[in-house]
Structure 1
């Protein structure tokens, strides 16, 4: 078997990364996912999962060179009610997050009506964001952490194009 035959064969094998196009097509974008820069529009490329509702890869842009900065797990409200109380603060309710003054979510490849329909479908879900690379850093040099999207700093931060980056520690939960 030569290299060409190997590539053709392996190209036809499904991989865990297949299907991260986002529901229904393209990414969902939202702000307030990165503590040091709540103005950063994070691109969620999602796919359904057989254990939970959905898993999203989080990128700092939509460019071909975008950096994978984290992951968001999404669960439905029934699953959220079943998780231990000590775990619930790590999850955010999408119905609250999806308002324009909070995460200002968008599906850039959909028209306005399609966006409304998809946001309504996702509004009764919960998300847990884990960031493993602060996009302002050149390397992933801090411990992965759960972003508390509903943290008072994130909720009360006025987000607009002139908002300056937060100058405090990126890490919300650890001293390092």
Structure 2
């Protein structure tokens, strides 16, 4: 069973609010109470907000601005909830896992194909930390330049979807050539919002060392001109055994 969904870009001009009734006063009060009484520990571990861009693996002409709210589990592993903005009504559109080059090299080749490198994204001034000067986050940028990410998009808001529809889409990172180049108008809009200059960012990041080795199995499309797309098929259920 294959699933297909409308991709009318006109829907992207809608409010961005999913269909449904406005939140009642009673539920707002309840949620304020739970916020005070519950720990919400995983959310409170989010320690940084990064803004960058991502491209759909199966159609790299579709490019989106993404906002990653990052939790560090240790020196070699980060996880991020990805939103379509940093506004209070932002929609959760996916998740990204970020690993160091050390961990990435231990992954099987078939798994490595699903990941993308971050070196170009960092060095070229596309990955930014809104409202944070580069000089403050420079140590983190140097570390991120040596990492790899796997990003699954679960809500394709750029095509106007008012709900998260269909299977997840694998996302790729921007690159310097061919279809990996981010559209200038996207960068301009982002830089104007946060008062960044990509040219200035690139100059300030010259001191970030060039990666000695970027595993060519990552960014798989660059070497093989192939993409990955998830489909949904019906299958027999596994039988329960006693």
**TM-score category of the 2 structures, normalised to the smaller one:** 0.7 to 0.9
Q: How many residues align?
A: 157
Match of 2:41 among 15, 21, 27: 15
SS at match of 1:96: helix
Report Cα offsets for 1:67-116 as digits up to 9, x if no partner: 0000110111111011110010111121133232xx71111121131243
Are the counterparts in 1 of residues 50 and 129 from structure 2 also a CA contact under 8 Å?
yes
Match of 1:30 among 52, 70, 84: 52
Question: TM-score, normalising length from structure 2?
Answer: 0.55
Q: Please say which structure displays the higher CA radius of gyration.
A: 2
Q: Which residue of 1 aligns with 2:95?
A: 71
Q: Which residue of 1 aligns with 2:238?
A: none
Structure 2 Cα separation of the partners of residues 9 and 66 of structure 1: 18
Structure 2 Cα separation of the partners of residues 118 and 30 of structure 1: 15
Q: Which has the higher helix share?
A: 2
Q: Which residue of 1 aligns with 2:85?
A: 61
Matched, 1:173 2:239: no
Alignment RMSD (CA, Å): 3.2
Unaligned segments of structure 2, at least 5 residues:
1-28, 188-226, 233-242
Matched, 1:139 2:163: yes
Question: TM-score, normalising length from structure 1?
Answer: 0.74
Are the counterparts in 1 of residues 50 and 68 from structure 2 also a CA contact under 8 Å?
yes
Structure 2 Cα separation of the partners of residues 86 and 13 of structure 1: 39
Residue 62 of structure 1: how far off its partner (Å): 0.6
Q: Which residue of 1 aligns with 2:143?
A: 121
Are the counterparts in 2 of residues 68 and 133 from structure 1 also a CA contact under 8 Å?
yes
Unaligned segments of structure 1, at least 5 residues:
164-170
Are the counterparts in 2 of residues 45 and 58 from structure 1 also a CA contact under 8 Å?
yes
Q: Which residue of 2 aligns with 1:166?
A: none
Report Cα offsets for 1:21-52 as digits up to 9, x if no partner: 41xxxx111012455642x3211100112696
Q: Which residue of 2 aligns with 1:130?
A: 152
Matched, 1:91 2:147: no
